Amino acid sequence: MILFLLFCLPTALLSQKVKINGVITTAKNREPLSGVTISSILSGKNIGMSDSSGKYKVSINDADSLLKFYHVGYASFVLNIKNTQSYNVQLVDSSSNLDEVVVVNIGYGTVRKEAITGAVSSISSKDLADFPVGTVADALSGKLAGVSVKRTEGAPGADFTLG
C-alpha cells in the first residue's frame, strides 16, 4: 500500500490542471481579437483559441508554464504563467507577416500553401479542347505531372485507372 502511494501520489500531483483565462486584444486600438491560436510551448500542441469577443479559456498542466499566442498579421506573444490565473494579452500588428499565407486553389477546395506537401498541377478545358482523343483519360495522359493512365484491357471503352 505504501509503495502504491509513493508511485501514484507524485504522478497525481504533477498532472494537476490549472485553468487560465483572459481577453486577447489588439495593442493598437484594444479591440477584441478572435481566432487567436494558443499553444503550449513545452508540448508544442495547440490547446485553445479565442472566441469572437477575444475571450479564451485553456487548461494546462502545472509544468506548462509557457503559452504562445499567435494570429496572422500579428507578432506572436509568449506568456510565462506565474501564480495568476487570469491574463489579458495584447498582440502587436505585424504587417510583415501577411505574406506568410498564400491560398492555393486545388480544384475542389482551397489549402494554405504551407499545408501542401507535394506538387500541384492543373489543366483547364482550353488545354483539352484542341486535342483529338477518344476519351478524357487519353487527354489527361501526359498532360499532368505525376498522373498516369492505365487501361485494364485493350478493348474500346475499357475501364481505366488514374495513378
Each residue's pLDDT tens digit, 68-118: 999 888 899 999 888 778 999 999 988 665 544 455 555 566 666 666 666
What is the third-level CATH fold of 13-100? Immunoglobulin-like (2.60.40)
Place of cell 490549472: 18
pLDDT at position 152 is 75
Alpha-carbon distances of 128 from 32, 46, 70, 93, 149, rounded to whole Å: 50, 45, 44, 46, 16
Task: State the Cα–Cα distance between residues 73 and 26, nearest whole angstrom.
Answer: 11
Q: Identify the residue with better confidence: 64 or 103.
A: 64
Phi then psi dihedrals of residue 143, to 5 deg: -90, -30
Alpha-carbon distances of 19 from 60, 81, 123, 132, rounded to whole Å: 6, 11, 51, 66
Residue 127 has pLDDT above 60, yes or no: yes
DSSP category for residue 138: H
pLDDT at position 73 is 83
Each residue's pLDDT tens digit, 10-59: 555 555 788 899 999 999 899 999 999 999 888 888 899 999 999 999 98
Annotated domain spans of the chain: 13-100, 103-162
Residue 146 has pLDDT above 60, yes or no: yes
